[in-house]
Structure 1
Amino acid sequence: MNKKQILLIDDDHELAELLVDYLAQQDFIVQCCFDGQSGLEQAYSDKFDLILLDVMMPKLDGFDVLKALGKAHKTPILMLTAKGDNNDKVKGLELGADDYLAKPFHHQELLARINAILRRIQLINQQNKQAFQQGNAILSVNDIELKHATRTVLCHGNTIELTGTEYQILTALVEHHGQIISKDTLSEQVLGRKLSPFDRSIDVHIGNIRRKFLPFCSIEKIKTVRGAGYLFLTGETQ
């Protein structure tokens, strides 16, 4: 079995050395970059299964790297943020990170997050392949089309670029259109973890999807049901 490759972009050499050794024991290959510019150059190669991205770095910080990679970048990104800095967490998610982990973290917690993200990607690929084979490669509800084989989203024929996490959240909502899905359920299904108190991850991802819809969809597609969760509307009149 091919080992998964991880790109670590972090200027903390001591932490990088520890993570390289630990993740190697878990059958990962880790390549390190110690500034944002060199990390960005490596990230463009698309040869990695996951990117671990620190916020504070020389040359380019983590946010600059996310902006440069843009919306179309498909490699999942786990942002490493300062403990308790909710602004960094939200900003990272808004710029396209799939999830975040606050420093300092326990190595087992990092491994759990990595495995959760990689399982999600594997599940998406399996579902897309199965949908294509069964002739269910396109899911269409309320002028939104999801083409699973290419992980493409269309609104009135216009392509909307979503991250892997955003795509899976939207898929869950569209597949259960007309039904309320709680944030806890979305977090467990998509992020692979329970939603902790004051965790805004799902809210931020939903906000990103809505903003990306906005130029092409004049009618609201995703409704917030206060205290319950989110609902993908089945028609223009709802």
Structure 2
Amino acid sequence: MAQKILVVDDEANIRELAALYLEKEGFQVEAAIDGEDALARFEASPPALVILDLMLPRLDGFEVCRRIRKVSDVPILMLTARSEDVDKIVGLELGADDYLTKPFNPREMVARVKAILRRADGRTRSARQVLQVANLTLDKARREVYVEGEPIQLRTKEFDLLAAFMENEGIVLTREQLLESVWGYDYPGETRTVDVHVQHLRQKLARAKVQIETLRGVGYKLVPSEE
């Protein structure tokens, strides 16, 4: 099912432009013309993400953001026609995830929407204790890994590395990101450490219907295999 984006803006051309580009990318779009309309639509059918203009009639974007944050952690992308940093800072402090200044490139808007949704999905996955990709299961609480119910023995860093991949299924992770996530900010080693551990993981997960793909010069991503 397509993810729904709620676009809140009193300018018809902005609503139409956003809808055009988002729908091209497979999103479902619902539009609201003012703050009260936005809250009513949000309550009736919560979206996956809200694109929220700050300067709205009846109820401004700051208040809409504040009220949404009282009941939901849904991602919010702010739109502002002002260049003052104070608007951006206040919006972010109220709980918005990112902002765009008008006029904006609609392709950048789509890219930011996708990035915010990926981060939100990553947070959801991180909060889950049991991760599943194809026939591979990882239990974070028990620190156990299974392939079709059969346990797989992993070393500590191999487990942590696999957890990072499964929490970000299909997303490219750079070697630097993996070093920071698994080994910590102050780890003195080189990115070659990641490569060695990935090789070990591939060997131990030979029966799993997943692949750790290499993107040369970039990093790795875990995806279900086509077999």
TM-score range with shorter-chain normalisation? 0.5 to 0.7
Paired position in structure 2 for 1:134: 139
- Return the offset for 1:91: 0.6
Per-residue CA deviations over 1:53-103 (Å, capped at 9, x if unaligned) read 001010001001112223442111001112422111001001111111111
Q: 2:97 and 2:44 mapped to 1: Cα distance? A: 19
Paired position in structure 1 for 2:7: 8
Task: Note if 1:125 corresponds to 2:124.
Answer: yes
Task: Note if 1:99 corresponds to 2:98.
Answer: yes
Q: 1:57 and 1:81 mapped to 2: Cα distance? A: 10
For residue 117 of structure 1, what is the amino acid of its counterpart? I
Check the 8 A contact 1:50/1:77 in 2, yes or no: yes
Check the 8 A contact 1:82/1:88 in 2, yes or no: no
Q: 1:108 and 1:7 mapped to 2: Cα distance? A: 17
Q: Return 5+ residue gaps in structure 2 as ranges.
A: 132-137, 143-180, 187-227
Check the 8 A contact 2:34/2:56 in 1, yes or no: yes
Task: Note if 1:25 corresponds to 2:24.
Answer: yes
RMSD over equivalenced CA pairs, Å: 2.9
For residue 93 of structure 1, what is the amino acid of its counterpart? L
DSSP 3-state at the match of 1:53: strand
- How is 1:168-183 mapped onto 2 (pairs within 5 angstroms)? 179=185
For residue 134 of structure 1, what is the amino acid of its counterpart? D
Check the 8 A contact 1:5/1:50 in 2, yes or no: yes
Pair member with larger Rg = 2
Of residues 94-103 and 38-47 in structure 1, the stretch that sits farther from structure 2 once superposed is: 38-47
- Return the offset for 1:178: 8.7
Check the 8 A contact 1:83/1:104 in 2, yes or no: no
Q: 2:54 and 2:182 mapped to 1: Cα distance? A: 36
Check the 8 A contact 1:44/1:69 in 2, yes or no: no
Check the 8 A contact 2:21/2:110 in 1, yes or no: no
DSSP 3-state at the match of 1:70: helix
DSSP 3-state at the match of 2:128: helix
Q: Return 5+ residue gaps in structure 1 as ranges.
A: 138-174, 181-238
Q: TM-score, normalised on structure 1?
A: 0.54
Paired position in structure 2 for 1:109: 108
Paired position in structure 1 for 2:192: none
- Return the offset for 1:128: 2.9
Check the 8 A contact 1:7/1:51 in 2, yes or no: yes
For residue 94 of structure 1, what is the amino acid of its counterpart? E
Per-residue CA deviations over 1:186-222 (Å, capped at 9, x if unaligned) read xxxxxxxxxxxxxxxxxxxxxxxxxxxxxxxxxxxxx
Q: 1:118 to 1:70 in 2, by over 3 A?
A: closer
Check the 8 A contact 1:6/1:49 in 2, yes or no: yes
Q: 1:46 to 1:95 in 2, by over 3 A?
A: farther
Q: 1:3 to 1:68 in 2, by over 3 A?
A: same
Check the 8 A contact 1:76/1:97 in 2, yes or no: yes
Check the 8 A contact 1:46/1:75 in 2, yes or no: no
Check the 8 A contact 2:35/2:56 in 1, yes or no: yes
Paired position in structure 1 for 2:53: 54
DSSP 3-state at the match of 1:89: helix
For residue 122 of structure 2, what is the amino acid of its counterpart? L
